[in-house]
């Protein structure tokens, strides 16, 4: 076997190993996201209380490790049953584009 063929085989094996490791890491990420979601469900009252005290979607997102502002918004919506309290947040207009994908416009 030539040096080029050996090098190619080594690279193929390394690629195979990295592909497998990547697959395992993606599965771990899914598991961790599910675990965090379960923790959010258990802590919903604490999360809601924190949100009402700070009146900030972004601060609540960061404090409770939500994936993003949209994820936090969706959780708060579920906890409150409507969007009214969330829309009165100090940073609602600033977070609007992250949540809905377009700029906030006064009606």
Q: What is the pLDDT of residues 66-90, one digit of tens each?
A: 999 999 999 999 999 999 999 999 9
Shared domain check, 96 and 60: yes
More confident residue, 54 or 1: 54
Q: What residue numbers bound the domain in which 106 lies? A: 47-107
- Tokens linked to 64: 């409770």
Q: What is the pTM of this model?
A: 0.77
Shared domain check, 38 and 10: yes
- Neighbouring residues of 86: CB distance < 8 A, sequence distance ≥ 6: 51, 57, 73, 76, 77, 80, 92
Q: Which residues of 79-91 are buried (b: 16+ CB within 10 A; e: fewer)?
A: beeeeebbeebeb
Phi-psi region of 81 (alpha: psi -120 to 50; beta: other; left: phi over 0): left
Shared domain check, 69 and 93: yes
Shared domain check, 68 and 20: no
Shared domain check, 60 and 29: no
- Output the pLDDT for position 107: 60
Shared domain check, 68 and 38: no
């Amino acid at each position: 076997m030539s040096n080029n063929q050996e090098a190619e085989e080594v690279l193929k094996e390394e690629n195979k190993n990295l592909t497998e490791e990547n697959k395992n890491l993606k599965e771990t990420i899914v598991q961790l996201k599910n675990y965090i979601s379960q923790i959010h469900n258990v802590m919903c009252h604490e999360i809601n209380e924190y949100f009402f005290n700070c009146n900030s979607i972004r601060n609540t997102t960061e404090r409770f490790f939500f994936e993003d502002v949209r994820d936090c918004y969706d959780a708060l919506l579920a906890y409150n049953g409507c969007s009214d309290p969330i829309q009165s947040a100090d940073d609602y207009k600033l977070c609007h584009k992250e949540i809905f994908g377009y700029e906030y416009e006064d009606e």
